[in-house]
Amino acid sequence: MLIPSTPNTFRRRLATAGAIVAVAAFGMTACASADTASTTPGGEGGDDEIGVTLIVKTTTNPFFVAMEDGAKAAAEKAGVKLTLAAGKEDGDEDTQIQAIENAISKGDKGILITPNGPSVVDAIQKARDAGLYVIALDTAPDPADAVDITFATDNRAAGNAIGEWTAAQLDGETATIAMLDLFDDKVVSVDYNRDQGFLEGMGIDVADENTNGDEAKTGSYSGGDYVIVGNEATTGAEDGGRTAMETLLSQNPDINVVYTINEPAAYGAYQALQAAGMEKDVLLVSIDGGCAGVKNVKEGIIGATSQQYPVKMAELGVEAIAKLATDGTKPSTTAGLDFFDTGVALVTDTPVDGLESIDSSAATEICWGQ
């Protein structure tokens, strides 16, 4: 479980965004079509070969394509034999489980994985029992200690930032909120941390902080009254975002705040809002910070997003397993957290006094994807 971040914690972290951003900018690579990147110390099939398998949720999301690119660049630099695998779609656990089994069979030193759901946990344990070092990227499993360590954005802080921004923009107006989540049939930490972090940032009391949708549907936020129209799953995809938005608009056409799990879902929601003639009347917020999402901020489609750094996650993961294999050094978590924090920055062209942010021009310099 990730440790929730308060608004003040987010501000303190974002005060160091310049340093985080500078680090996150290195190693950005263009999308490549190769399935593996391989450099084998000691020759192909040698005893000192360091094999690492990266298993992402899906390659239909630019976030995970960027993660693969970062891993390939780091593998080439570190002399690691890298294997790439991905679920067929967000939530595809079976394909990920098979990729874990393959990594064990190949005798890899470690696995980097963005878990697609709780069913992968048993397979991860099997890999660890076989001596592989397993690092989660972006999404901590449940329980968090199912892996050796997680390299990720503080998703609670990321949600918190866009929630604070939204509350400030409303200036006391009633918030009629649509919640566009990731799943409705499984629980993953990135889903509830972003969702619940957003609500906490708005000043809304959440019931179980690790459960989506169980908070009161009406009440008060930090600036006025709120109504939560509902929670709809998107699977983090554009078409899912469009369908989810259409569903919630049919339930309440007065929606003026839309939270989305990621930027593909946000763009799908925007298409539904545009079709309804409502795109100028709604505050649309998201999390990712990819180049396409930052462009949407610049164009006024997304009001604010929280930028994270998947390339950095993958690079650090490859480097950590290579170092562990060569000299036995294990990576450490960030002080005060149970994971390694790879940084986050609020991106908006409508800044709020007292809330640290960067504008879309600055975010464009360090974004990922195309």
Q: Report the pLDDT averaged over residues 192-202.
A: 98
pLDDT tens digit string along 64-79?
999 999 999 999 999 9
Same domain, 105 and 139: yes
333 within 8 A of 339, measured Cβ to Cβ = yes
* pLDDT interval class at 353 (50, 70, 90): very high
pLDDT tens digit string along 236-264?
999 999 999 999 999 999 999 999 999 99
- Omega cis (within 30) before 118: no
Same domain, 260 and 145: no
Q: Check residues 76 and 14 and name the one with the higher pLDDT.
A: 76
Same domain, 96 and 239: no
The range of the structural domain enclosing residue 87 comes to 31-153+309-331
Q: Which residue has the tokens 């640290």?
A: 356
Q: Is the pLDDT of residue 111 over 60?
A: yes
- Identify the DSSP state of 358: B
Tell me the average pLDDT of the chain.
89
pLDDT tens digit string along 116-142?
999 999 999 999 999 999 999 999 998
Same domain, 65 and 148: yes
Same domain, 164 and 204: yes
Domain membership of residue 54 (yes or no) is: yes
Same domain, 142 and 58: yes
Same domain, 219 and 321: no
76 within 8 A of 319, measured Cβ to Cβ = no
Beta-carbon count within 10 A of 353 CB: 5
| pLDDT for the residue 89 | 92
Domain membership of residue 58 (yes or no) is: yes
Domain membership of residue 107 (yes or no) is: yes
**Joined tokens for residue 128:** 């660890």
Domain membership of residue 19 (yes or no) is: no
Q: At what angle do helices 7-14 and 155-170 cross, to 10 degrees?
A: 110
- Distance of alpha carbon 200 from alpha carbon 42, whole angstroms: 52
Beta-carbon count within 10 A of 370 CB: 12
| pLDDT for the residue 32 | 29
Look at the chain and report how many structural domains it folds into.
Answer: 2
Q: Report the pLDDT averaged over residues 273-297.
A: 97
Q: Which residue has the tokens 């604070």?
A: 164
Same domain, 170 and 231: yes
Same domain, 129 and 263: no
Domain membership of residue 23 (yes or no) is: no
* pLDDT interval class at 63 (50, 70, 90): very high
Same domain, 171 and 296: yes
* pLDDT interval class at 369 (50, 70, 90): confident
- Distance of alpha carbon 137 from alpha carbon 59, whole angstroms: 15
Q: What is the CATH number of the domain that holds 180?
A: 3.40.50.2300
pLDDT tens digit string along 331-344?
999 999 999 999 99
Q: Is the pLDDT of residue 15 over 80?
A: no
DSSP code string of 340-365: EE---EEEESS-BTTB--B-HHHHHT
Q: Is the pLDDT of residue 294 over 50?
A: yes
Same domain, 299 and 321: no
Q: Is the pLDDT of residue 14 over 70?
A: no
CA distances from 219 to 49, 56, 223 (A): 58, 38, 11
Domain membership of residue 233 (yes or no) is: yes
pLDDT tens digit string along 137-151?
999 998 999 999 999
pLDDT > 90 in the chain, percent = 85
- Distance of alpha carbon 260 from alpha carbon 43, whole angstroms: 47
| pLDDT for the residue 47 | 55
Same domain, 314 and 301: no
| pLDDT for the residue 39 | 37
Beta-carbon count within 10 A of 306 CB: 32
Q: Report the pLDDT averaged over residues 312-319.
A: 97
182 within 8 A of 234, measured Cβ to Cβ = yes
| pLDDT for the residue 23 | 37
Q: Is the pLDDT of residue 35 over 70?
A: no
Domain membership of residue 12 (yes or no) is: no
- Distance of alpha carbon 63 from alpha carbon 57, whole angstroms: 10
